[in-house]
Chains A and B, each alone.
Chain A
Amino acid sequence: QKEVEQNSGPLSVPEGAIASLNCTYSDRGSQSFFWYRQYSGKSPELIMFIYSNGDKEDGRFTAQLNKASQYVSLLIRDSQPSDSATYLCAVNPGTGNQFYFGTGTSLTVIP
């Protein structure tokens, strides 16, 4: 069983819509959760992290964490074509400091 699961997509949304990206993880003791954005041919770029249950908002981005359901999501409001990228979910299980990455969800925002 993979540590971190993401729907690979592709996910397409129209410009201005809300994009919802989801991630589940297997280790119930996981402590911290991260979302990275990766443009084609570029390196992953950290956009959000969340440690506690609930929502965390940063501009157009909202991360949501539900530890009971082992579920973390990223919402992108007012999606822009520049948001088109692959979004990687990463989980720190808390035993050691390595991250486990999902395989990423490809998002396309259609103008």
Chain B
Amino acid sequence: DAGVIQSPRHEVTEMGQEVTLRCKPISGHDYLFWYRQTMMRGLELLIYFNNNVPIDDSGMPEDRFSAKMPNASFSTLKIQPSEPRDSAVYFCASSFGGNEQFFGPGTRLTVL
């Protein structure tokens, strides 16, 4: 079975541009999580969904960040406008029933 799928794997963009990260959770999982990882701050939860509904977005750093989950098999994390301090690895993870989380390969974002 395929695991969590993320795209793109790498993204290099210029400050001010819009960035969209994509995630396909494991089929049958009802929770989806977006994380950001940096050397300084470690792994931070940005937002999570249950059955496509956002449950907690308190980790979203600013209004520049938004996330959607239009159906059970797809979610996006959008940054508009992007800034250099947004450079990080963004992970999507999914779980069934809020138990063990399985991570995707991540998107390495570089904002110049």
Interface residues of chain A, those whose CB is within 8 Å of chain B, are 32, 34, 36, 42-46, 49, 88, 90, 92, 96-104
Q: Given A98-B33, A98-B48, A99-B45, A46–B102 Cβ distance below 8 Å?
A: yes
**Are A34 and B100 within 8 A (Cβ)?**
yes
Interface range on chain B (Cβ under 8 Å from partner): 20 to 34
List 16 additional contacts besides A97-B97, A97-B98, A103-B42; criterion CB under 8 Å: A34-B101, A43-B91, A44-B43, A44-B91, A46-B102, A96-B56, A97-B50, A97-B95, A99-B33, A99-B45, A99-B101, A101-B42, A101-B43, A101-B45, A104-B42, A104-B43
| Chain B interface residues toward A at CB < 8 A | 31, 33, 42-43, 45, 48, 50, 55-56, 91, 95, 97-106
